[in-house]
Amino acid sequence: MHNMRKEIKESGIKTLSILTENLRKWIRKFDSGKVWINRLESESTIDTYLKRFKKYCDLTGLNPDELLHLKLTATEISIKVMTAIHNNEEVKINENEAEELYADILKNQIESQSQRANFSVAVNSFYKHNKRSLNEPLRFNPPIAKGRRPTLEEIELMLSYTQNKRDEALILTQSSCPLREGTLELMRFWGFD
């Protein structure tokens, strides 16, 4: 394992930690980004949310501060209305602009239900920690795999055909873990930390 990491480092390939550090530098360029990551407690949460939120920003074409300005606070709405009344102007305010953009991106540009759930958590966290929670944020729950999980009887039947402990372990792993079809065959010992 150590040799593989050394080879990757020497080859010049960017590792996840370098990419994550670049995302941290990027988010710190924005006031709303600083507020957000300073309020997140876990380093792994920051890394995970940053990757998803950066993709969300790329899909919207807006930076974090611009996204935050789409979500007006009640005070900002009052100021706009009072200013418009004072200046004898017509006022048009879309209170749900951030929510509409968010729903459009998640529904039309994020393909899988589980990715939508992951993006939802990151985006809602950004707005919440900047004290501008989205109104009734969309909730996306990962799909439940129906009919793909073997029953206890099916597992016992498969185990009865095994001839060694390795096969038993593989069957128990496959039946109790959310692995995609074909993943187990690709797994190797060095794939685990």
Residues 158, 108, single domain; the answer is no
Residues 112, 160, single domain; the answer is no
Segment 41-45 shows an average pLDDT of 83
Whole-number average pLDDT of the chain: 75
Residues 118, 162, single domain; the answer is no
Residues 119, 161, single domain; the answer is no
In the chain, how many domains are there? 2
Residues 20, 81, single domain; the answer is yes
- Cβ-contact 54, 23 below 8 angstroms: yes
> DSSP of 68-106, one letter per residue?
HHHS--HHHHHHHHHHHHHTT------TTHHHHHHHHHH
Q: Return the percentage of the chain with pLDDT > 90, whole number.
A: 2
Evaluate if residue 70 carries a pLDDT over 60.
yes
Q: Residue 137 falls within a domain, yes or no?
A: no
Evaluate if residue 152 carries a pLDDT over 80.
yes
Segment 156-183 shows an average pLDDT of 80
- What does the alpha-carbon distance between residue 39 and residue 127 come to, in Å, rounded to a whole number? 12
Q: Residue 113 falls within a domain, yes or no?
A: yes
Residues 104, 159, single domain; the answer is no
- How many angstroms from the chain centroid is the CA of residue 178? 18
Segment 135-146 shows an average pLDDT of 59
Segment 151-174 shows an average pLDDT of 85
Q: Residue 134 falls within a domain, yes or no?
A: no
pLDDT in tens, 84-135: 666 777 766 566 777 888 888 878 887 777 788 888 888 888 888 888 777 7
Which of the residue ranges 26-30, 50-54, 73-77, 170-174 would you say has the lowest mean pLDDT? Answer: 73-77
Is the pLDDT higher at 154 or at 2? Answer: 154
Q: Residue 178 falls within a domain, yes or no?
A: yes
Q: Residue 176 falls within a domain, yes or no?
A: yes
Q: Residue 43 falls within a domain, yes or no?
A: yes
pLDDT, position 187 = 67
> pLDDT class for 17, splitting at 50, 70, 90?
low
Residues 63, 157, single domain; the answer is no
Evaluate if residue 140 carries a pLDDT over 70.
no
Residues 112, 23, single domain; the answer is yes
pLDDT, position 66 = 86
Instruction: State which residues form the domain around 180.
Output: 152-191
Q: Residue 30 falls within a domain, yes or no?
A: yes
Q: What share of the chain is helix, strand, coil (3-state, %, to 5)?
A: 65, 0, 35
Q: Residue 14 falls within a domain, yes or no?
A: yes
